[in-house]
Amino acid sequence: MNLIVIDDEPIQHFIMERMLARYVSTPNDYITYSNNAVEVLAFLDKNKEDVDKLPDIIFLDLNMPIMNGWDFLENYKRIQQKVAKPIMIYVISSSIDPGDISRSKKYMSVKDYIIKPMTRLALKKIFDAGIDSTEIN
């Protein structure tokens, strides 16, 4: 399983690293941590046909410098049909604004909106649901 965590806060990377360790445990699995959504978008576009390099899940913060989560989602939407496999995106935000939650549901690639802090229970639900149970792309 391949995961990308996009968040500009180093503490969030640390928290996610600790919690995700139990779900990503084989030599073929990887987790990439990034504080730059522009770089992740470029990576996805460059590797859109390489299913081994593409992530299964992206955990996306909304409030970030350079490119925020909303801009990432808009730009990803433009390349989504060219990506060789479905990628589930989980928005993880400190925003409790119902408008943000509703807005996130307008993106086909967004599987769920999770209010920070991420919990073990929320992660368990994500991984118990399984990667193959969705048809996002």
**Which tens digit of pLDDT belongs to each residue from 20-56?**
988 887 788 899 999 999 999 999 999 999 999 999 9
- Spatial contact of 35 and 7, defined as CB atoms under 8 Å apart: yes
pLDDT of 136 reads 37
Instruction: For the chain, list the domains and their CATH numbers.
Output: 2-119 (3.40.50.2300)
Confidence class of residue 63 from pLDDT cuts 50, 70 and 90? very high
The whole-number average pLDDT for the span 68-77 is: 98
Angle at 79 (CA atoms; ends 70, 38), nearest 5 degrees? 50
Give the three-class secondary structure for 16.
helix
pTM listed for this prediction: 0.92
Strands (E), the chain: 2-6, 30-34, 57-60, 88-93, 110-115
